[in-house]
Structure 1
Amino acid sequence: MKFGIMASHQYPHGDDLRRHLDELFGTVELAAELGYDSVWTINHFQSNLATPQPISMMASLIPRTGNMTIGTGILILPLFHPVHVAEEFATLDHLSDGRVVLGVGAGYRENELAAFGVDPASRFRRFDEGIRLIRALWSGETVDHDGEFYPLAGGTIGIRPLTPGGPPIWVGAGGRKSVRRAARLGDAWYAPGNSPNPKYLPEHVTVYNDALAEYGKDTETVERPIGVELYCAPSTDEAVRTALPHARTEYSTYAEYPALRWQRDRFDDLVRNTLLLGSPEFLIERIGALRDLGFNHVIFRPGWLGMPAEKIRASLRLFAEEVFPAFR
C-alpha cells in the first residue's frame, strides 16, 4: 500500500500567499522524510480560493520531494491545449528524473469552462481527444491528427519525455460512464473517496474492473489510487475535535459552486461515511476496507482551511509511525 498527500494549495483571498506556501513546502519536505510515496497538486481557475497553478507548483516541489511521485490531482484537461500539456509534462518528466504522473479530469465548474470558451457539452469529447493526442506526441513520432478540436499535421514534440511513452496518465472520474472512460483511456482510475453513498465504491470498482477486462487490460497490475480526507490523532475524539471545524469550513466553500451544493447539504453523511478522522486504530480499519476493495494507493488531504501547520504535521508523523507499518 502506498500513501500520498494532496499539496492542498488553496487559501482565502487576501491571505499572505508566501507564508502559506512556505508552510506547505515545509510540510511536503517532512512528508518526504517520513516516507510518503507521492504528492499531488490542484488545478482551478477563477476560484473562490486563491489557488496557485499546478504545473508551477510541481516544478517548485521537485527539489523538495526526494523520491516521491509528483502529480496533478487533477489537471482540468479540456481547459488546456494537449500540445501544451504534452510539452510541459515531458519537461517535468526530465526535471523530476521520471517521477511525474499526469492526473486529468474533465472539469465541472461552469465559470471555468465559460472563461475558456469551452462548451460544457463538449468537454468529454475534448478530454478523450486530448489524451489520445498527448500519448501520440509522447511517442516521439510525427503526428497527423485529424481531430475535432485539436487538428495537427506533421506535429512533433519539442522534447521527448524521459519515461518511454511518457508519464502515466491517471483519470479522475465519478460516474459510471466516466469510470469506463478511465479504464479505456487511462493508466489508472483516480477514484473519489468522498461519496456519502456506502455502495458507491464497491459498485464502481466492479464497473472499472469489467471495463478493464473489456478493453483487454490487466486488472491485477494496474495501480489503484483513491483520494480521501484524513486526519490522524491519538484518539478519534481528538481527531474529530481538531479537524472537523476546518473540514466543515472548506466543504462549505466548495459548496458555493452549484455542482457541489450537495456537500453542504449532506455534510453529516460525508463525516459518517467518508471523512477519515480518527485514531491510528480507526484508520487502520478503514484503510483496510479500502485495501480489501483493491485500492493500493491512498492519497489524502492532510489539512483544511485555517488548520495550523503544526497540527497537519503532527497528523502526518503519527500516521507514518502508527499506520504505515500495518500496510507495508
Structure 2
Amino acid sequence: MAMKFWVTTPFFYPDMSRPWSEVLDSMIRIVEAAEEFGFEGVTINENQFQNYVCNPSAMMFAAVATQRTQRLRIVPGVVVLPAYNPLLVASEMSLLDHLAPGRVGIGVARGGSRFQLDRLGVKPENQRAMYEEGLEIIRRLFTEEDVSHEGRFYSFPPTTLVPKPATQPHPEIWVASQSTAGVRKVAQQGLNLITAPNYGNFEPHGDLEELIGAYNDEIATTGNPRGEVMVLRHTWVGRTEEEALEYFDDVVNEYNYYMALVKGPGTVDTKEARLAPRDVGESRDYVHRGKMTPEQHSFSKDNLFEKYADPVLTTPDRMIERFKAYEALGVDHLACLIAVGMPTEAIINNMKMMAEEVLPAFAD
C-alpha cells in the first residue's frame, strides 16, 4: 500500500484578539477540505488552558467532524490519558465509533507538558503509570464484559460499556511517542504509532530514520504484527522555493510556542537528547490569562530543505522526493501540519495544491 496523507487541526491561536470562533471555523473548513480533496484522514489536537493548542476536547470536535464527512478517517489525538478517567474515554470513543463506524480511532499519550496536568492535580511522578494503567483499562473495556479493576489509580466494580464499539474488535488505538524507548514500547504492545522526534520542528536529518528503525527492529524482535506508522511533518508546497517559504515566519513562531510548552529556555543539540524519553520539566510561569509567552529561537530559511528533515516547505517534486524516502522507511501515513498562523484561504488552497501535485505520486 502506498503512503497516505492526513492533515491536522492544530487549533493554534497566537492572536487572541481574534474571536476564538474564527479558529473553530478554520478547523472545520480544514476537515471539509480534507474530505473534498482526497486526504485519507484528519488528526485532532487537544490541550487546555493556553493558546498554543486551544481545543479542550478532541473527542467532542471529532464528533463534529464525523457529521461533516462521509469517508474521512478521524483520530482525536492525542488524548492525554492521565487527564481523564479511562472509563469515560472508552465510553465516549464507543459513541464516536457509532457516529462513524470504522472511520474513527483514538490517539493517546502520557502528555508532554506539565502545564495542563499541574492544573488537573496530576503529579509528574505518577504520569506514566497513570497512562499505562488507563490504557490497559480502555483496551479491556473495548472487548470484555463486566470488567473490574483494582489498581493504583483506578478501581471499580464489574463494568460493561453500553454501547460497545461498533467496530470489531475495537476502534484503532494510536500511541504518540517521540523517543526510541517509547516507540519500542509501542511495538511491544502491537499498537499503531504516531511519531515525530522530540522537540518537533527544525529537526535534523537522521532522527526520524532512527525512530522508525527502532520501531521496526522491535517488531522483528517480538514477532508482533506490525502496526501502522504515522509521521507528523510541517508542510507547505509552492510552485517555487520562494513561494513555498512565504509563511516561514509563521512556522518559526509555531515552533517557539511548542518549545515553550514542552521545553522552556535552552536548546537540544544532540541526537541522544532529542530521542531520549522526555520528562515534563519544572513548573514555569509562562502563561498569563491563557496567553503563552513563546521562546525566541530563530532560524535561517537558506537551504532549509537540505538542513532539516522538518519543516518540508518546498516544491511538489522535492516534497515527493522527501516523502518517497519516508514511504521506503515504512511510514504508512503522513500527517501534514499546515495551519500555524496562515490565513484560512491560503491553507485550503495549499491543501488543494498538495492534492493535485503531490498526492497522485502516492496513489495505489
Q: Under TM normalisation by the shorter chain, which class is it?
A: over 0.9
CA change 1:214–1:148 in 2 (3 A) is farther
The reply to whether residue 327 of structure 1 matches residue 362 of structure 2 is yes
Offset of residue 260 of structure 1? 5.3
* Preserved CA contact (<8 Å) 1:169 1:186: no
Aligned length: 324
- Once the two structures are TM-superposed, the CA of residue 269 in structure 1 deviates from its matched residue by 8.6
One of 110, 135, 149 as aligned partner of 1:131: 135
Q: 1:58 to 1:247 in 2, by over 3 A?
A: same
Distance in 1 separating the partners of 2:204 and 2:26: 34
Amino acid at match of 1:187: L
The corresponding residue for 1:154 is 158
Q: Matched residues in 2 for 1:73 and 1:302: separation? A: 17
2:17 counterpart of 1:20: no
Q: Which amino acid in the other structure matches residue 85 of structure 1?
A: V
Q: Does 1:173 align with 2:209?
A: no
TM-score by length of 1: 0.92
Quick one: percent identity of the two aligned structures? 29
Q: 1:18 to 1:326 in 2, by over 3 A?
A: same
Q: Does 1:280 align with 2:316?
A: yes
Matched residue type, 1:304: V
> Is 1:231–1:303's contact at 8 Å kept on the other side of the alignment?
no
Moved more, 250-259 or 263-272: 263-272
Aligned-residue Cα RMSD (Å) equals 2.0
Q: Structure 2 stretches of 5 or more lacking a match?
A: 269-294
SS in 1 for 2:263: helix
Match of 2:259 in 1: 255
Matched-pair contact (CA < 8 Å) for 2:146–2:159 = yes
Which residue type is aligned with residue 243 of structure 1? Y
- Equivalent in 218, 222, 239 of residue 215 of structure 1: 222
The offset of 1:7, in angstroms, is 1.2
Please say if 1:30 is aligned against 2:30: no
Distance 2:94 2:316 in 1: 39
What secondary structure does 2:346 align onto? helix
Hey, what does 1:8 align to over in structure 2?
Answer: 10
Alignment partner of 1:301 is 2:343: no
Tell me by how many angstroms 1:9 deviates. Answer: 1.6
Match of 1:87 among 86, 91, 94: 91
> Of the candidates 239, 246, 249, which is equivalent to residue 244 of structure 2?
239
Distance in 2 (alpha carbons) for counterparts of 1:190 and 1:179: 9
Could you tell me how far apart the structure 1 residues matched to 2:257 and 2:217 are?
A: 36
Q: 1:36 to 1:151 in 2, by over 3 A?
A: same
In 2, Cα distance between the equivalents of 1:126 and 1:233? 44
- Helix, strand or coil: the match of 2:6? strand
Q: Can you list the C-alpha shifts for 1:181-216, whole angstroms capped at 9, x where unaligned? A: 212335211111536232222222222122223433
Gaps of 5+ in 1: none
Alignment-mate amino acid for residue 76 of structure 1: V
Q: Identify the structure with the greater helix proportion.
A: 1
Deviation of 1:17 (Å)? 1.7
Shift of 1:69: 0.6
Q: In the alignment, which residue of structure 1 is the partner of 2:147?
A: 143
Q: What do the CA deviations read for 1:130-150 (whole angstroms, capped 9, x no partner)? A: 111001101141112222111
CA distance in 1: counterparts of 2:97 and 2:298, whole angstroms: 38
Deviations 1:208-261 (A, max 9, x none): 122223433123xx3111111101111122111x22011112222223235255
Q: Are residue 65 (structure 1) and residue 61 (structure 2) matched?
A: no
Summarize the Cα distance change of 1:26–1:278 in structure 2 as closer, same or farther, 3 Å threshold.
Answer: same
1:265 and 1:8 mapped to 2: Cα distance?
Answer: 21
Q: Quick check: 2:12–2:340 contact (8 Å CA) kept in 1? A: no
Deviation of residue 106 (structure 1)?
1.0
CA distance in 2, matches of 1:197, 1:269: 14
Mapped pair 1:226 → 2:249: no
- 8 Å Cα contact 1:90-1:159 kept in structure 2: yes
Mapped pair 1:39 → 2:42: yes
Once the two structures are TM-superposed, the CA of residue 50 in structure 1 deviates from its matched residue by 6.3
Q: Which moved more, 1:176-185 or 1:155-164?
A: 176-185
CA distance in 2, matches of 1:38, 1:258: 26
Q: Secondary structure at the match of 2:61?
A: helix
Structure 1: distance between partners of 2:86 and 2:52: 26
Deviates more, 1:190-199 or 1:229-238: 190-199
**Secondary structure class of the residue paired with 1:160:** coil
Residue 338 of structure 2 is aligned to residue 291 of structure 1 = no
Alpha-carbon distance in structure 2 between the residues aligned to 1:323 and 1:210? 30
TM-score normalised according to structure 2 size: 0.83
Aligned AA (1:63): Q
Distance in 2, Cα, partners of 1:215 & 1:45? 37
